[in-house]
A = this chain, B = another copy of it.
Amino acid sequence: MTCTSLANADVSDYEMIEATRAVLGLVSGRWSIDVLYLLASGTRRYSELFYEVGEISKKTLTQTLRSLQRDGLVARRAYADVPVRVEYSLTPLGWSLTGPLMSLYEWAAAELDGVSALRGSVSMPPPEGHT
């Protein structure tokens, strides 16, 4: 079976593939992770996200936000103030996803040791020559 690291060996490969890929799809956007992590540290206004993410365009930030919103990971709240104010935050579902996401980070930190190998492009020192 596939899952030696877990107990539920009764689910099909196909089901795991589909589901895993679907989850990956939720955060596959170029900036999804950035937005998720930023919102994990607190509610933000649109312009705060725009500034803090860095090089993102407004169009793409909006797209990213809408996508996360549609998937139920992020909540949008608009206030009728006169310079308009909109705040984004993580939903409970969004929060729950930070766990699995952290396990990916943990893996990187443990296996790739400091992530230095990941910056730019991943170049692993070959544990043994592959022919």
Contacts and interface: CB of A to CB of B under 8 A. Distances in A.
Interface of A: 1-6, 11, 13, 15-28, 33-34, 37-38, 40-41, 69-72, 75-78, 91-93, 95-109, 111-112, 115, 117-119, 121-122, 124, 126-127, 130-131
B3 A122 contact: no
B13 A115 contact: no
Summarize A's interface: helix, strand, loop or mixed: helix
A76 B3 CA distance: 21
A24 to B, nearest CB: 7
A102 B9 CA distance: 12
A124 B41 contact: no
In the A-B complex, the 7 residue pairs with the closest CB atoms: A22-B118, A2-B41, A72-B124, A19-B108, A19-B115, A100-B107, A23-B104
